């Protein structure tokens, strides 16, 4: 069993199953748009990443929602994929990899698409770097480095499936292959700060680090910097560049904090241990630090005789031990080298944010404080992911740290001295502790890592306002450490809350020549009696040990939050600090899987933590599996695969209401599942995709687009799928399970498409059998225009139960399981069923150029509806907001966002254009003064809190490929003032929307009078006001001259009368309106429509 954590801060969850069915319609080849670049709003261009299996995943954003599509490699079309998306964190697990993940033979990051993308390992890179443990040289990959215990390879993405085939056979690794890891990237995470940790007192005692080698495993160093002259004992490049230059600047800054002489500042910015010698292992480049390079640098540093190794780098931690964490343990044990490692800079995300390899047991893990000793907000907090272990171990200054600047870097120099730069981070705190360890190592040259770590933590100075998971033992105090004669083992106690009292032992060691009687005291934030000591004092003999027992009570009735503090052992000037923590309860969740029939059963279980909003993925085999989880509310979903790896039968079971307040068992009995069998009345239509799953809404979404669901997708034939509830599962409010699908004759220019969605609230659906008839569908006839000639339209539809979220798909133009392509302009027919209150959202896009989207809509079965898409006039619109979100708003107190969509169509569909060769200019003015400018629409601007008169101006010049609405220029005026925190105010803005009766080519007849229907669309949710005035002008020469039109207005509707000229050409439109509250709008659309 392996557990993988996926983190999100979003508030919606969902699971689904999709399929491009065997024997169904084939995927179409869609023409790629030429040189498409970033969209200006709702639809972002997809990024593609090819997995180690050769399958390609594409991830994009649709109106702030993460959209994921999977394209199996050739020959793998029947392989299912479990695809989870948690607030944009995407993971795709092919079914034939599930068993290898369960046995720990594959690194889970190989299928963590978001991590691969963040590393830059998308398909713009020709190779995928790997670490392979074993004796076999696989095909489809090139050996790049032989390491101690593993070999680094690069997979050739030009042969995407060859490596997977050479590594695996029938779901197993081939003989001679032990494990495969991703060769991922880790990120590089003094005049006041050095004295703050007591270094001058050590210098006065004659300790400067002389005779000690300190390795900095980082981005290299500036070998020409005055502060490092004569300080570098050896330097080596492990990046493969053959260049020792520090282009990042991180390594130089870190190194000078340890060994810098301060020569370029007359000693002002001297490092902690200027007498020590530096070993520089360059393992990081501008794009990051490859793990194979880090491993090689660690080994080299140990072999070079380093006493201390500084690693101011890290990445996301998992419960498993990764190769770098394993190397920390191995090299510490073999060489006695102390690894001083940054805790990470993820503290704003809360607890359990310690980075790897700072999570390693043997590491001395460093958090950051300010120069006034306050915890830095970015400093990562414990406990570590796997258990209640206290991390960080210690803190040091890490804010506004001035140290040496590499002349080859882009880092900004400090005022008045090009030789230095100022940086923040636990990366900056870590070298302070590494330098302190070097001073201590000079005093005690025979000491190994464990003694150095124990002494530094024992002598640290805790802050009474901070807990152990924030500061560990406290601020490093090297002045005290050099005289420290008593230490504690372990250096901290991290205990999981249990149902009974728990005892832990602290062993005190006295290296002095006289016995010491220690007075013991507890300082905690816990209620009285939660922690107890076995004795008030303990006498430690000279050169000997003594123990004391710490008892932690169960605390069952206490709130779910960590409690802790320190055990302080003192005797005169002697003081030993041992942090103790009682983490929130962890319980064992047993997933029992009886009733399995079929060959080769494999399970993948997804555990959605509703309290912390994360997803854990467990791959397992056998009759049951167990996992330790923090107490809380969970949704448990299990998939059972049986039969072949390539085309398995699948059973999907879920319990939406798991309350983990004690050890629990969830029983996923496959016998409770029922088949899914749905048919449509047109027997010539075949399944294009099938989907079954669930969503859950846990709370209101965050302001500005935080409405992304969790989802899990799998390609599987309904004929091979069964679904059902877990045994004894309870109802869960807000939970919706569903089945959905599409049927058509073809995915290209299909004469008709049938779209189906059924749902059930509060529980997991037990299959679904339904033979649909013609009367069960609404007929929707859509006339679809073309904005860019020759580019097909891609049509998508997603459904939901009201109040819940849907699962979105990519709109980058490649065939999605839910999409259908059409040559346009044309009229199309779609059929939609309506189960209960089902709502549909339709999108229609010319990939790389446009994206239109409907409001959530319901149609009545048995009725026919007519719609227009990409119909003129394309211009500003204010569509119905979803979950109280919108574009033109004031929120977070003093942030103004806007404008709204600038290219909605005449029917009012939300619309956006990709920039490509166009340009955007957005400006915000307050009381006549510009306060914000952007080349994006929409964007956000910070403004003063006081009330003001605002003018928001947006100008969008479209790419030359567009022939209509080539220029949209809009300007709104309104008043706005500070809004309360957590509130969102819709700005009082109106769009003037023209809806002429154009033909399918968006052309009006020439040489005759013509009516222009107008809607004055006020932003939904804005303060009420009525239109007071409206004027409209037309131009027949692209805006050089204008003519006023006759306007007949009734309330918020109007008609303007224009006489279209003879011949052929374009009409441009300009409108101005004001409302009764004094808000105005003025908008111009050049080439609004054709006439002929």
pLDDT of the residue at 10: 25
229-286 pLDDT, tens per residue? 999 999 999 999 889 999 999 999 999 999 999 999 999 999 999 999 999 999 998 8
Question: For residue 745, what is the DSSP state?
Answer: S
Hey, what are 670's tokens?
Answer: 């496959």
426-436 pLDDT, tens per residue? 999 999 999 99
476-532 pLDDT, tens per residue? 999 999 999 999 999 999 998 888 899 999 999 999 999 999 999 999 988 888 999
pLDDT of the residue at 29: 31
pLDDT of the residue at 785: 96
Q: State the distance between the two ends of the chain, measured CA to CA, in whole angstroms.
A: 69
Q: Which is catalytic among the residues 85, 256, 427, 845? A: 427
575-611 pLDDT, tens per residue? 999 999 988 888 899 999 987 877 878 888 888 888 7
Of the candidates 338, 428, 343, which has an alpha carbon nearest to the alpha carbon of residue 382? 343
Asked whether residue 27 carries a pLDDT value surpassing 80, the answer given is no
Q: Which is catalytic among the residues 250, 253, 432, 587? A: 250
pLDDT of the residue at 190: 52
Of the three residues 419, 444, 469, the one that is the final residue of a domain is 444
pTM above 0.95, yes or no: no
pLDDT of the residue at 459: 93
Question: Is 113 strand, coil or helix?
Answer: helix
Range from 25-29, 536-540, 767-771 carrying the lowest mean pLDDT: 25-29
pLDDT of the residue at 97: 84
Q: What is the mean pLDDT of residues 92-101?
A: 82
**What would you report as the CA-atom Rg of the chain, rounded to the nearest whole angstrom?**
32
pLDDT of the residue at 4: 37
pLDDT of the residue at 599: 80
Is residue 44 within 8 Å of 61, Cβ to Cβ? Answer: yes
pLDDT of the residue at 16: 36
Asked whether residue 121 carries a pLDDT value surpassing 70, the answer given is yes
Alpha carbons within 13 A on the beta-carbon side of 1062: 0
Q: Which is catalytic among the residues 69, 112, 183, 218? A: 218
Q: What is the mean pLDDT of residues 1013-1040?
A: 95
Q: What is the mean pLDDT of residues 8-29?
A: 32
Q: What's the farthest any 2 CA atoms get from each other in the chain? A: 110
pLDDT of the residue at 735: 87
Long-range contacts: 547-550, Cβ < 8 Å, 24+? 547/505, 547/506, 547/507, 547/508, 548/505, 548/506, 548/508, 548/520, 549/503, 549/504, 549/505, 549/506, 550/493, 550/503, 550/504, 550/505, 550/506, 550/580
pLDDT of the residue at 647: 77
Of the three residues 385, 418, 444, the one that is the final residue of a domain is 444
Residue 262 lies in a domain: yes
Residue 985: which residues within 8 A CB-CB, separation 6 or more?
Answer: 889, 890, 891, 976, 979
pLDDT of the residue at 842: 92
Residue 427 a catalytic site member: yes
Asked whether residue 33 carries a pLDDT value surpassing 70, the answer given is no
Q: φ and ψ at 296, to 5 degrees?
A: -65, -40
pLDDT of the residue at 888: 83
Question: Is 665 strand, coil or helix?
Answer: strand
Residue 806 lies in a domain: no
pLDDT of the residue at 886: 61
Instruction: Give, for 202, the enclosing helix (H) or strand (E).
Output: helix 199-204
Q: What is the mean pLDDT of residues 696-707?
A: 44
What does the alpha-carbon distance between residue 303 and residue 234 come to, in Å, rounded to a whole number? 12
pLDDT of the residue at 290: 92
pLDDT top residue among 227 and 98:
227
Residue 408 lies in a domain: yes
User: Strand 277-282 and strand 308-311: pairing?
Assistant: unpaired
Of the three residues 413, 444, 475, the one that is the final residue of a domain is 444
Residue 704 lies in a domain: no
Residue 560 lies in a domain: no
Residue 919 lies in a domain: yes
Residue 225 lies in a domain: yes
The band of 700, judged by pLDDT with boundaries at 50, 70 and 90, is very low
Residue 399 lies in a domain: yes
Q: What total of structural domains would you count in the chain?
A: 2
Asked whether residue 813 carries a pLDDT value surpassing 50, the answer given is no
Q: What is the mean pLDDT of residues 140-161?
A: 87
The sign of the CA dihedral 1000, 1004, 1005, 1010 is: positive
The band of 1035, judged by pLDDT with boundaries at 50, 70 and 90, is very high
Hey, what are 485's tokens?
Answer: 């004669």
pLDDT of the residue at 40: 39
170-213 pLDDT, tens per residue? 778 888 888 998 998 887 765 567 778 888 888 889 999 999 99
Mean pLDDT of the chain: 87
Domain interval for residue 990? 889-1091
The three-state (H, E, C) secondary structure of 431-492, written as one string: HHHHHHHHHHHHHCCCCCHHHHHHHHHHCCECCCCCCHHHHCCCECCHHHHCCCCEEEECCC
The band of 19, judged by pLDDT with boundaries at 50, 70 and 90, is very low
Q: What is the mean pLDDT of residues 16-36?
A: 33
């Amino acid at each position: 069993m392996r557990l993988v954590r996926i983190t999100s801060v979003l508030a919606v969850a969902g699971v689904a199953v999709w399929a491009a069915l065997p024997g169904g319609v084939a995927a179409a080849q869609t023409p790629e748009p030429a040189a498409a670049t970033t969209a200006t709003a709702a639809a972002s261009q997809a990024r593609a990443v090819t997995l180690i299996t050769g399958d390609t995943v594409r991830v994009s954003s649709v109106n702030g929602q993460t959209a994921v599509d999977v394209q199996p490699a050739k020959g793998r079309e029947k392989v299912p994929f479990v695809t989870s998306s948690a607030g944009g964190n995407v993971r795709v697990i092919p079914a034939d990899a599930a068993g290898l993940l369960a046995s720990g033979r594959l690194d889970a990051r190989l299928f963590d698409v978001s991590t691969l993308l963040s590393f830059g390992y998308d398909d713009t890179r020709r190779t995928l770097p790997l670490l392979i443990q074993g004796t076999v040289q696989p095909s489809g990959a090139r050996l790049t480095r032989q390491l101690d215990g593993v070999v680094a390879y690069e997979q050739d993405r030009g042969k995407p499936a060859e490596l997977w085939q050479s590594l695996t056979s029938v779901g197993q690794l081939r003989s001679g292959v032990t494990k495969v890891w991703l060769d991922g990237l880790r990120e590089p995470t003094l005049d006041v700060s050095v004295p703050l940790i007591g270094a001058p007192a050590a210098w006065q005692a004659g300790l400067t680090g002389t005779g000690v080698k300190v390795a900095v495993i980082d981005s290299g160093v500036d070998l020409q910097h005055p502060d490092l002259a004569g300080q570098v004992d050896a330097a080596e490049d492990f990046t493969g560049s053959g260049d020792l230059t520090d282009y990042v600047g991180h390594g130089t800054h870190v190194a000078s904090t340890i060994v810098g002489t301060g020569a370029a500042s007359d000693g002002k910015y001297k490092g902690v241990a200027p007498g020590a010698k530096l070993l520089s292992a360059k393992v990081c480049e501008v794009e990051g630090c490859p793990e194979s390079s880090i491993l090689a640098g660690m080994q080299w540093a140990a072999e070079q005789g380093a006493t201390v190794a500084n690693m101011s780098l890290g990445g996301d931690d998992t419960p498993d031990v990764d190769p770098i964490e394993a190397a920390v343990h191995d090299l510490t044990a073999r060489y006695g080298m102390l690894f001083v490692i940054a805790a990470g800079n993820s503290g704003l995300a809360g607890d359990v944010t310690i980075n790897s390899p700072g999570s390693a047991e043997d590491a001395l893990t460093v958090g950051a404080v300010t120069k006034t000793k306050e915890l830095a907000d970015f400093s990562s907090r414990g406990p570590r992911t796997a258990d209640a272990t206290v991390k960080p171990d210690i803190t040091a200054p890490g804010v506004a740290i001035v140290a040496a600047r590499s002349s080859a870097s882009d880092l900004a120099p400090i005022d008045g001295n090009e030789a230095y730069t100022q940086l923040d981070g636990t990366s900056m705190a870590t070298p302070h502790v590494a330098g302190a360890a070097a001073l201590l190592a000079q005093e005690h040259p025979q000491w190994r890592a464990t003694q150095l770590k124990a002494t530094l933590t024992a002598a640290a100075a805790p802050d009474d306002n901070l807990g152990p998971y924030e500061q560990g033992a406290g601020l490093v105090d090297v002045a005290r450490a050099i005289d420290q004669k008593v230490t504690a083992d372990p250096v901290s106690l991290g205990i999981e809350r249990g149902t009974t009292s728990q005892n832990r032992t602290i062993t005190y060691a006295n290296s002095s020549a006289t016995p010491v009687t220690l007075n013991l005291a507890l300082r905690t934030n816990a209620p009285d009696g939660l922690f107890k000591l076995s004795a008030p004092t303990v006498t430690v003999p000279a050169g000997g040990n003594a123990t004391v027992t710490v008892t932690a009570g169960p605390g069952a009735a206490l709130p779910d939050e960590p409690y802790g503090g320190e055990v302080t052992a003192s005797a005169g000037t002697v003081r030993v600090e041992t942090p103790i923590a009682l983490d929130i309860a962890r319980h064992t969740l047993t997933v029992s899987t009886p009733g399995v029939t079929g060959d080769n059963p494999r399970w993948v279980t997804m555990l959605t933590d509703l309290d912390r909003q994360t997803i854990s993925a467990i791959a397992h085999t056998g009759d049951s599996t167990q996992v330790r989880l923090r107490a809380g509310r969970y949704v448990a979903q299990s998939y059972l695969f049986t039969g072949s790896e390539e085309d398995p039968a699948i059973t999907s079971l879920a319990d939406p209401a798991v309350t983990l307040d004690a050890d629990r068992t969830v029983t996923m009995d496959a016998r409770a599942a029922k088949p899914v069998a749905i048919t449509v009345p047109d027997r010539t239509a075949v399944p294009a995709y099938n989907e079954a799953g669930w969503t859950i809404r846990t709370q209101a979404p965050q302001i500005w687009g935080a409405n992304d669901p969790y989802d899990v997708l799998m390609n599987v034939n309904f004929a091979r799928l069964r679904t059902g509830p877990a045994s004894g599962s309870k109802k869960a409010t807000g939970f919706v399970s569903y089945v959905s699908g599409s049927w058509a004759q073809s995915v290209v220019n299909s004469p008709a498409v049938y779209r189906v969605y059924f749902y059930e609230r509060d529980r997991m659906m037990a299959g679904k059998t339904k033979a649909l008839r013609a009367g069960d569908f609404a007929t929707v006839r859509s006339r679809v225009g073309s904005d860019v000639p020759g580019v097909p339209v891609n049509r998508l539809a997603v459904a939901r139960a009201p109040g819940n979220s849907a699962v979105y798909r990519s709109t980058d133009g490649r065939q999605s399981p839910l999409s259908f392509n059409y040559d346009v302009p044309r009229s199309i027919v779609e059929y939609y069923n309506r189960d209960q209150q089902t709502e549909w959202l339709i999108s229609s896009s010319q990939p790389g150029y446009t994206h239109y989207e409907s409001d959530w809509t319901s149609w009545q079965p048995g009725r026919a509806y007519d719609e227009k898409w990409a119909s003129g006039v394309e211009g500003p619109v204010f569509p119905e907001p979803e979950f109280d979100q919108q574009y033109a708003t004031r929120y977070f107190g003093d942030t103004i966002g806007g404008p709204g969509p600038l290219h909605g169509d005449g029917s009012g569909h939300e619309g956006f254009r990709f920039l490509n060769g166009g340009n955007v200019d957005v400006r915000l003015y307050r009381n006549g003064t510009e306060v914000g400018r952007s080349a994006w629409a929409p964007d956000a601007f910070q403004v003063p809190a006081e009330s003001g008169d605002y003018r928001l101006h947006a100008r969008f010049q479209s790419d030359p490929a567009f022939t209509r609405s080539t220029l949209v220029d809009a300007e709104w005026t309104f008043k706005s003032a500070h809004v309360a925190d957590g509130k969102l105010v819709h700005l009082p803005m109106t769009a003037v929307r023209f809806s002429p009766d154009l033909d399918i080519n968006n052309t009006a007849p020439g040489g005759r009078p013509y009516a222009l229907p107008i809607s004055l669309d006020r932003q939904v949710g804005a303060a009420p006001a009525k239109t007071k005035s409206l004027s409209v002008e037309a131009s027949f020469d692209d805006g050089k001259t204008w003519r006023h039109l006759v306007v007949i207005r009734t309330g918020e509707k109007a008609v303007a009368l224009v006489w279209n000229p003879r011949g052929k050409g374009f009409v441009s439109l300009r409108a101005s309106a004001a409302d009764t509250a004094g808000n105005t709008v003025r908008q111009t659309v050049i080439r609004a429509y054709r006439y002929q």
